[in-house]
Amino acid sequence: MFSGIIQCIAIIKLVIKKKNFLHLIIKTPNFFNYDLKRGDSIANNGCCLTISKINNNLLYFDIIKNTLDVTTFKEVKKGDYLNIEKSLKLIDFIGGHLVSGHITGIAKIIKINNYVYSKTIWLKPYYKSQMKYIIKKGFICIDGISLTIDKIHINQFSINLIPETIIKTSLSNKKINQYVNIEVDLYTKISVSTIEKLFYQ
């Protein structure tokens, strides 16, 4: 589990693409890897990946077809930036919301409003069915970042970026028409699914 509070930004140093498989090497800040070991889970842009190798401040990951099919990793390239978070420990403070690292889909950035100290980003999920789990003032995880849903309009929704999020994550550099990973809130999904079963059986 993760909290959606980004701990650092990493840069992709190497991408090796094969049929239905991707080998990824990222470079993290020097302080980040000190307590990591092979087999640990790391959220990369919100996607839980397992470390296959560590070499100083380089982390290695293997990404299979199932993950490629539902995330933005099929489009990543050398030089791209990733939001990174280590998995939670039982004693950790949860500053965001509980995030599983299991991406539920992708969304397209359709509008960006820039203000003096903040940004508002409008997104459209690739699968319209995701919208039933996106509730005004509810939680959503975007590229690994725990955010609050601000407004909803038909098949679109908006989120706001405060100065801290703009400074410490890669979301501030995203452009219109780019895609991001999204994970809808697990508890919202369970609640909606339960209600659907009760009323549509």
pTM, two decimals, is 0.91
The structural domains of the chain, ordered by start, are 8-86 (2.40.30.20), 105-200 (2.40.30.20)
pLDDT at 72 over 90: yes
Q: Which residue has the higher pLDDT, 39 or 188?
A: 39
pLDDT-based confidence at 54, cuts 50/70/90? very high
pLDDT at 10 over 80: yes
pLDDT (mean) for 50-68: 96
* pLDDT score at 81: 97
Query: pLDDT (tens digit, 9 = 90+) per residue, 182-198?
Result: 999 888 888 888 888 88
Nearest one of 26, 17, 112 to 63, comparing CA atoms: 17
Contacts of 39 (CB under 8 A, 6+ apart): 50, 51
Mean pLDDT of the chain: 93
Backbone dihedral region of 41: left (phi > 0), alpha (psi from -120 to 50 degrees) or beta? beta
Contact 140, 185 (CB under 8 A): yes
pLDDT at 66 over 80: yes
pLDDT at 89 over 80: no
